[in-house]
Amino acid sequence: MSWIDYLIFGAYMAAVLGIGVYHFRRNGDAEDYYVGGRSISPGHVGLSIVATDVGGGFSIGLGGVGFMMGLSGSWLLFTGLAGAWLTAVFVIPKIKRIDARKGFMTYPDFLRDRYDGRVALFAAIISGLGYLGFTAAQLLAGAKLASATIMTHNPFGMEPLFFALVVIACATVLYTVIGGLKAVIYTDTVQWIILLSGLLLVTVPFTLARIGGFGALRAALPEHFFSLTAISPVLFINWMVTIIPIWFVGMTLYQRMYACRDEADARKAWYIAGFFEYPVMAFTGVFLGMCARVVFPEAEAEMAMPMLIRDILPVGVTGIVIASYFSAIMSTADSCMMASSGNFTNDIISRFIPSSATSDRRLVRISMVVTLVVGLLAFLLAVRFTTVLGAILQAYAFMVSGLFIPTLGAYFWKRGSSAGALAGMVGGGSLTLLLIAGVLHLPDGLQVLGLDPALYGILFSALLFVPVSLTLPDKEANQ
């Protein structure tokens, strides 16, 4: 990279921090900080959703999937289309009607209204920890990109990946702490436009020209790389089971539902998000991963695409495209930090502080401190991760296995009880966590199937939620 590329990248980072400072001066209360004053347009919200969901982790991870599998890896983001549109049809009409009356701030607020405070507390803990892990995955994605492109060396003698992780964490945490959700959503819009333009208009044509066109790509890769059916049924099921349910329980998504003015705007935003996830980003990401395999066949899968960007693009263009990838990474990391911070602040800490002792401005300050702590913990966790996509899927698995079934019950089963929800959350989440950690092991017959631990966690959650709800019903309906 030349000094021009570094200058472009530095100007971009300065602009993002400037947006954070601007919205810091305009945040009057916690509602501004966490749900954007409930007045953000569907276009901004829709692009923010797809920027958050695809983001850096899936951008880098999707390139790695394309490197390993070819076009069939695009099914990874079909989960985004399915999840977004299912939510728009079945969830948004219900949640926006209740939100119009209750003024929710977080996902556990909904569960508190439907069940009770104990359920909301456990949901906040599961969601807060899950998004903490998801934030760490995004910081690792940024570090991998930086260490392969703009930070191959540093004056401190640190290992390049660790040094890049420090820099990315500092920049992302700083502007997120300062600006709140408005800064997050408005920067997400700009970041997604930069990312999509950089990939479609710059990286794809330059890469194809470098490798000799589409014909050369076909000649260099195995035939199954160009098939949409070259994916095992087990892998397809694992992706669907792990990712689609997150659209029903994701704190980042509930914050954006509440940020929309009404049901119509919210549904429009979710339809926009689904379309940009699949087919737009799905095929762009895996295609570039395939191209990277041709240029760097011996590279580590998730590092090949950053190396492609570093080496194949002309001076000036490299800085723009790298900025676009950092856009995706930061747009996801900031949203996940906000989600985790919202869970810990609004759903846990504020419940133990008398309302008379907490002004709106003081609550914003507490929120900023908690966001900072979440960012620091995410950095420490990122140091322990090795692959971006693996970290994302583990965080998703932990969240959906405990939260999905009780949330479905909250929407669609009136007999679901608080005791049943607690049992489902604790049982499902714990089983998945123990399976991922290797503390528990499935019987040999089930291990052979190769199904994701999240599936067993979800099934166990349902087996607990239904009978416990019937045995220990709530004394009266909560909604």
Tens-place pLDDT, residues 76-110: 999 999 999 999 999 999 999 999 999 898 899 99
The predicted pLDDT at position 479 comes to 44
What are the domain boundaries of the chain? 3-388
Residue position matching structure tokens 């059916």: 229
pTM: 0.85
Rounded to whole angstroms, how far apart are CA atoms 186 and 171?
17
The predicted pLDDT at position 324 comes to 67
Q: Give, for all 479 residues of the chain, the pLDDT tens digit.
A: 677 877 887 887 777 667 666 766 665 555 666 666 788 899 989 988 887 777 655 667 888 999 999 999 999 999 999 999 999 999 999 999 999 999 898 899 999 999 999 999 999 999 998 888 888 888 888 888 778 777 777 667 778 778 888 887 887 777 666 655 666 677 777 777 877 887 888 888 988 998 999 999 999 999 999 999 999 999 999 999 989 999 999 888 998 999 999 999 999 999 999 999 999 989 998 999 999 999 999 988 888 888 887 888 777 777 777 776 776 677 677 778 878 888 888 888 877 776 655 566 676 778 788 888 998 998 988 888 777 777 777 888 889 999 999 999 999 999 999 999 999 999 999 999 899 888 999 888 888 788 999 999 999 999 999 999 999 999 864 44
Residue position matching structure tokens 């698995």: 397
Q: DSSP readout, 69-132?
A: HGGGGGHHHHHHHHHHHHHHHHTHHHHHHHHHHH---SHHHHHHHHS-HHHHHHHHHHHHHHHH
The predicted pLDDT at position 58 comes to 63
What end-to-end distance do the CA atoms of the chain give, in Å? 59
The predicted pLDDT at position 478 comes to 45
Residue position matching structure tokens 């090795």: 386
The predicted pLDDT at position 346 comes to 81
CATH of domain 3-388: 1.20.1730.10
Rounded to whole angstroms, how far apart are CA atoms 479 and 477?
6
